[in-house]
Structure 1
Amino acid sequence: MSSGPGADSAPAPNTHDDARTTSLKPKGGTFSSLKVRNYRLFATGQVVSNTGTWMQRIAQDWLVLSLTGSSAAVGITTALQFLPMLLFGLYGGVIADRYPKRRLLLITQLAMGLTGLALAVLTLSGHVQVWHVYLTAFALGLVTVVDNPVRQAFVVEMVGPADLRNAVSLNSANFQSARLVGPAIAGVLITAVGSGWAFLLNGLSYAAPLAGLLMMRTSELHEVEQAPRGKGQLREGLRYVAGRPDLIWPIVLVGFIGTFGFNFPIWLTAFVNDVFHAGAGTYGLLNTLMAAGSLIGALLAARRGTSRLRLLVGAAALFGLLEITAALAPTFWVFAALLVPIGMFGLTINVTANSSVQLATDQAMRGRVMSLFMMVFMGGTPLGAPLVGWVTDVYGARVGFLAGGVVSVLAASAIGFTLARAGGLRLRIDLRRGRRHVAFVPREPVPRKEELAATV
């Protein structure tokens, strides 16, 4: 790793065993990771830039809707932002495994700030057109190809494997805290002075994570194995995941959820515009309510000691059922209230899948595995968003939202039974009082399946 301020006076480098070591126990407490100086710097910078990111997301969605009047156009914008992840996501993982992650993050955070400033100049000058938004969304997506797996894999270098699950949860809490503030600020700015100022503040917000990265003591980072340059590293990563049911099935599940269940920019703009006939302030309110639920989910996840796959499957099923219920909500306030638990269970899916996959992955493979995870989770959006946008335009907001919930429930059910079968488990239903009514129990003692059964 490259040196940074304060590195000379720092203690010797940390080393640790592979992150899958089961003897490592978290230090305890919801905010235990914040005891690590480098992680505090990282988290402080991220909350500032995340606030700017949410401001830009809201302003971008509303700008596209204002320019085109089409939910499908909002879907295209979202798709273009995530298309690079689908096309090039695995290459980002190879880069993350080869090069120092802090150095890569300095580059990606600077590039992200520049895309926000470019869109701000176009909008404030009055020259913005919808293709400009498409282009900047695609450029941001290209940077994200590298930034996402690097940022995910960098967490364990800052806090070590014992606090990894806690740090992943706090990252999500950080992101959702910003989501509480960003949409509200964006709604005020859009109404008062226009979208351009939200883009400008987002671009400037990246100064905070850049400063945090530069202030880190690099000698306090935990050493991790870096993959040497070589041929066939993409195929090696895919073979590694393909041979691990405890990795591949959670990734498949979040792929379905990310592709069809997380299209909230499309659904919420459509509900606000076509069902409730409101404006940007209401759109910001709905995003804030969902963020409140997500923040609750993140803090609960930070206190949780394990990331079992049954929690992932159960959260995905409840998430889909809540989406179906919200799609049929008779009034605005019922719809708005349901967004809180939707946000909570959506965040639980993300944190549980992320931490369980990271903890089950060897150090030298973590960048490639997390790039595949993010490629499937986010890269499915270019496939799902235009389709969901078309369904929403043609059949209405309620049908579009309902379809996303149905797909999420079906995916959770199918993969839940697949994981149970692979782990040698069967579903037991016991309706007697005082008993656990629904549970997975061992089908038969099969030694090779014991490890997977323990994770389920």
Structure 2
Amino acid sequence: MVRAEGTTAERPVSAWVPLRTAVYRNLWLALFAANVGTWMQTVGAQWLLIDAPNASTLVALVQTASLLPVLLLALPAGTLADSFDRRHLLISVQLFLLVVAAALTLLTAAGRMPPALLLTLTFAFGVGQALTLPAWAALVPELVPRDQLRSAAALGSISFNAARAIGPALAGVLIARTGIAPVFALNAVAFGVFALALYRWRPENARAVEVPERFTAALRAGGRYVRHSPIVRRLLRRALVFLVPGSALWALLPLVADRRLGLDSTGYGLLLAALGVGAVLGGVLLPRVQTWLSPNQILLAAGLLFGGTLLVVGTIRAIPLVLLVLLPAGLAWVTVLVNVSAELQLFLPGWVRARGLAVYQVVFAGGQALGAFIWGVVADMAGLVTAFVAAGVLMLVGSVTSQIWRLPDLRGVAGDPATYWPRLQLAHEPDPRVGPVLVTVAYTVRPEHEREFLKAMDVVRGSRQRTGAMRWGLFREGESRERLVEVYLVPSWDEHLRQHGGRLTGADQEAEERARELADGEPEVRHLLPAAAGQAMTDDRQEP
């Protein structure tokens, strides 16, 4: 079979294959329980506010309060997950969430849960989610083989969206029969289950970082990698274009159920269940869909499908039709976001994986938090119909742009670690904290090769900046027509040692080898360090 855009389709890996790995299966089931509890808590919080003054804004703010911490804390959380034991981090966070859920349960049962306190505790749940997501996402590639990563990403989506189908439906039944406090209590139990599963897991080869990066240095390194990676930036933009209009459905669906369809909490749970069932189907079918359509065609089809759903949900009052269109909407949602997440997991090198995925979580949460607030305000000011029509049109326009600003083809990118730089031979061993370090690489390039060499070095520039360089430049030596000198500045000697010891990939090696093929002989490398402690360049401007 040949897929669109002239690429040969590979035999799809079933979405269920990673579950054959016992460790992954146990943790996946425990995470599923936690996801069910989280969705029950979300429905309970939204329904607790449904009769409050300014309900449209308050209900939408439940989404904002839960997602805003991910926006604010995801990158620091990713830095922690790249630097320390991820299992211990995850256990601590689940215990924190258990305490918050218990407090929410007791206060709600006592009738002492005003909207401000409810949103504050929802924000605390968001803090826990912010610390959990990058650590778990970075852990998955260590639990399953690389060729099963796309299937594992689909399984993660199946877990999340099956919980989205089961959790709201279960919450709706419990709210109707027993009230909201038992819903919050079950959420506490779910966090306890996940913490227990993590505690019982004893990895044979526990991940350890011999010399962890300093927090601020690691944080900057993660931001620098994303800033200088065009592929990562393109993937993040595509996710954002889909998320902002798509958030209208999740934020305003409770109001559609209550005001336009006349449904109670059970009916609202059924609407979310329809979305969840569609999303589960999307996770199961995604590996096969990827053999039929290119990534850009998937983005177009999913965007058109979701945009049409927004228009129908916002303008039609027929309950069966709304339920029917929510099924493909869930499928479209999962298809786009799992595709982007899996591509990032495959592309990001191990040393920065959690930080790169954390930036994706920032985009994911920020797009939804911002969108939820915008559409809530629009609904309050102009009505639900206007908000849904505006979001639907924006989604349709955004889906068409996927054919203009297209996703890159990542299958030929060599992302495996590559340690190919020669062993450092210095007259003395510098302190790892010394810096900045100025590295110069002198090349001899014939005039007839210069144009191609400059193009090749532009690719090398990206490699240097992704792996540690704050500044980079290519200069012509005044005393020679054929001498070109690459100069780049690294924050510290430790940062440069990490470039030597694990930050480079096969793609970086290919870029350097292409440039060296166009030069004569081996380049001359020099490392320039501050002459005395505390002494550096006279220009002390900070890295932007």
Describe the shift of the 1:416–1:234 C-alpha distance in structure 2 as closer, same or farther (beyond 3 A): farther
> What letter is aligned with 1:402?
V
Describe how 1:237-256 pairs up with structure 2 within 5 A. 237-256=222-241
* Secondary structure in 2 matching 1:418: coil
Shift of 1:146: 1.4
Q: Deviations over 1:205-242 (max 9, x none)?
A: 11221122122230167889996226443333233223
1:262 deviation in Å?
A: 2.1
Partner residue in 1 for 2:370: 383
Q: Take 2:189 and 2:135, find their aligned partners in 1: how far apart are those partners?
A: 22
**How is 1:26-425 mapped onto 2 (pairs within 5 angstroms)?**
28-68=13-53, 70-219=55-204, 228-229=213-214, 231-302=216-287, 309-314=295-300, 315-419=302-406
- Partners of 1:108 and 1:77 lie apart in 2 by 21
2:479 aligns to what?
Answer: none
CA shift, 1:308, in A, is 5.4
Change over 3 Å in CA distance of 1:323–1:264 after alignment to 2:
closer
Taking the aligned partners of 1:184 and 1:328, their CA distance within structure 2 comes to: 24
Q: What amino acid does structure 2 have at the position aligned with 1:372? A: V
State the AA in 1 paired with 2:366.
G
Could you tell me whether the CA contact under 8 Å between 2:240 and 2:367 is conserved in 1?
A: yes
Shift of 1:29: 3.1
Higher relative contact order, structure no. (Cα contacts within 8 Å, ≥ 6 residues apart) = 1
Kindly state the Cα deviation for residue 99 of structure 1 after the two structures are TM-superposed.
1.0
Deviation at 1:119, TM superposition (A): 1.0
- Cα offsets for 1:53-105 (capped at 9, x unmatched): 11111111111213346111111222122222222321111111111111111
Hey, what's the Cα distance between the residues in 1 that align with 2:357 and 2:211? 15
**1:64–1:133 contact (8 Å) kept in structure 2:** no
* Higher Cα radius of gyration: 2
Q: Pick closer, same or farther for the CA change 1:89–1:119 going to 2, 3 Å.
A: same
Q: CA deviation at 1:393?
A: 1.9
Gaps (5+ residues) in structure 2? 1-9, 410-454, 460-506, 508-544
Change (3 A) 1:37 1:311: farther
Report which stretch shifted further, 114-123 or 195-204. Answer: 114-123
> Which structure has more helix as a fraction of its residues?
1
Gaps of 5+ in 1: 1-24, 424-445, 452-456
* Change over 3 Å in CA distance of 1:360–1:403 after alignment to 2: same
Distance 2:254 2:216 in 1: 45
- In structure 2, relative to structure 1, the CA distance for the partners of 1:27 and 1:353 (3 Å cut) is closer
What is the TM-score normalised by the length of structure 2?
0.69
The 3 A distance-change label for structure 1 pair 110 and 256 is farther
Instruction: Give the match for residue 17 of structure 1.
Output: none
CA distance in 1, matches of 2:263, 2:14: 42
Q: Secondary structure at the match of 1:67?
A: coil
- What's 2:467 paired with? none
Contact 1:86 / 1:376 at 8 angstroms: preserved in 2? yes
Percent same amino acid at aligned positions? 27
Contact 2:305 2:328 in 1 (8 A): no
Q: Distance in 1 between matches of 2:146 and 2:222?
A: 21
Task: Please tell me the residue identity of whatever aligns with 1:331.
Answer: A
Quick one: distance in 2 between partners of 1:124 and 1:244?
Answer: 50
1:331 Cα offset (Å): 1.7
Indicate how the Cα distance of structure 1 residues 143 and 392 shifts in structure 2: closer, same or farther if over 3 A, else same.
Answer: same
2-structure distance, mates of 1:69, 1:267: 13
Q: 1:246 to 1:224 in 2, by over 3 A?
A: farther
- Residues of 2 paired with 1:309 and 1:225: CA distance? 39
Q: Is the 8 A contact 1:71 1:269 kept in 2?
A: no
**317 and 248 in structure 1: CA distance in 2 versus 1, 3 angstrom threshold:** farther
Superposition deviation, residue 337 in structure 1? 0.9
Paired with 1:66 and 1:414, the residues of 2 have a C-alpha distance of: 40
For 1:350 and 1:28, locate their aligned partners in 2 and report how far apart those are by CA, in whole Å.
18
Aligned counterparts of 1:218 and 1:303: Cα–Cα separation in 2: 32
Going from structure 1 to structure 2, the CA distance change for 1:312 and 1:151 (only over 3 Å counts) comes to: farther
Q: How many residue pairs end up in the alignment?
A: 403
How far, CA to CA, are the matches of 2:287 and 2:186 in structure 1? 30
Q: Distance in 2 between matches of 1:406 and 1:220?
A: 51
Q: RMSD of aligned C-alpha atoms?
A: 2.7
Contact (CA 8 Å) 2:23, 2:201: kept in 1 or not? yes
TM-score, normalized by length of structure 1? 0.81
8 Å Cα contact 1:115/1:139 also seen in 2: yes
